Amino acid sequence: MLKKALSAIAIATLALAANAEVLKVGATAVPHAEILNHIKPALKAQGVDLEIKEFSDYVQPNAAVEDKQLDANFFQHQPYLDSYNKDRKTSLVAVPNGKVHVEPFGAYSSKIKNIKDLKDGATVAIPNDPSNGGRALILLAKHGLITLKDPKSLTPTALDITKNPKKLKFKELEAPLLPRALADVDLALINTNYAIEAKLNPTKDALFIEGADSPYTNIIVARKDRANGADIAKLVKALHSADTKKFIEEKYKGAVVPAF
């Protein structure tokens, strides 16, 4: 009887695996792919085989979703998505209830230990994409280093700086390159995922950092025709579980903050 019961379980397991729906999701390595890998077993139990494709930039994950190579992606916030859609005339959308976490954006330096020691004429590196570049300027303004024309705008540019008392010089670089630029600049504003990959601890190494009230919540993104899919709804539910929240809090210790 025991052998028959075990055989029945094995057959049921194989049937579930055979009928599993493959869900292809693009993500940057840290923390997004790590979080997705954590929920793979939970999704597998629900008949969803999560296939994760890792990217090292912020453009290809959206292009792959638009071209139907992927079903969804997990790496960006709404201001970046809005900017991407506008620039490339695409119509990708945030999936319903798809907010997952905030990665507090930080300012780092290998030359000074306190922002008060930043010299006049210092070179500051910021991301070269509109949304994250604007995010960097907003953080600098919040700490009194510059003044912006419209404090409420989420996408300011260097042209919107009305006061620059230290005469800071801005250097725009692709986001993944910012950690490597630390030796060549006085200050760099770095996305937390790239800071973590570069072995920087945002809560300890950043001279200053965004609070948990940041509007830049990372979201799940898909095409309009896939955004309401049952498999994507299961993905969101797994990401919003108490188990996932505990994983994020314990693994990243404040460098990544759950937004659910």
Residues 95 and 222 occupy one common structural domain: yes
176, 191, 209: which is the final residue of a domain?
209
15 lies in a domain?
no
Residues 194 and 148 occupy one common structural domain: yes
228 lies in a domain?
yes
Residues 120 and 143 occupy one common structural domain: yes
By residue range, what is the domain housing residue 248? 22-103+216-258
185 lies in a domain?
yes
pLDDT in tens, 25-41: 999 999 999 999 999 99
The CATH number assigned to the domain holding 75 equals: 3.40.190.10
Number of compact structural domains in the chain: 2
Q: So what's the pLDDT on residue 7?
A: 54
Residues 113 and 205 occupy one common structural domain: yes
- From 41, 5, 57, 8, select the one nearest 194 (Cα to Cα): 57
The strand pairing partners of 24, in sequence order, are: 51
Residues 202 and 246 occupy one common structural domain: no
d(CA 224, CA 227): 5
Q: So what's the pLDDT on residue 213?
A: 72
Spatial CB neighbours of 75, under 8 Å, sequence gap ≥ 6: 26, 27, 28, 32, 55, 58, 61, 193, 218
pLDDT in tens, 7-18: 545 554 454 455
pTM of the model: 0.83
Do the Cβ atoms of 184 and 25 come closer than 8 Å?
Answer: no
Long-range contact list for 83-86, CB < 8 A, 24+ apart? 83/129, 83/130, 83/131, 83/155, 84/59
Residues 110 and 201 occupy one common structural domain: yes
d(CA 156, CA 149): 8
Please report, as a single letter, which amino acid is at residue 251. K
Residues 235 and 204 occupy one common structural domain: no
Residues 160 and 243 occupy one common structural domain: no
Residues 187 and 131 occupy one common structural domain: yes
13 lies in a domain?
no
Residues 178 and 119 occupy one common structural domain: yes
d(CA 83, CA 87): 6
pLDDT in tens, 76-99: 999 999 999 999 999 999 999 999
Answer yes or no: is pLDDT of 216 > 80: yes
d(CA 135, CA 79): 9
Residues 200 and 227 occupy one common structural domain: no
Please report, as a single letter, which amino acid is at residue 207. L
Find the distance separating the first CA and the last CA of the chain, reported in whole Å: 46
Residues 98 and 223 occupy one common structural domain: yes
d(CA 147, CA 70): 41
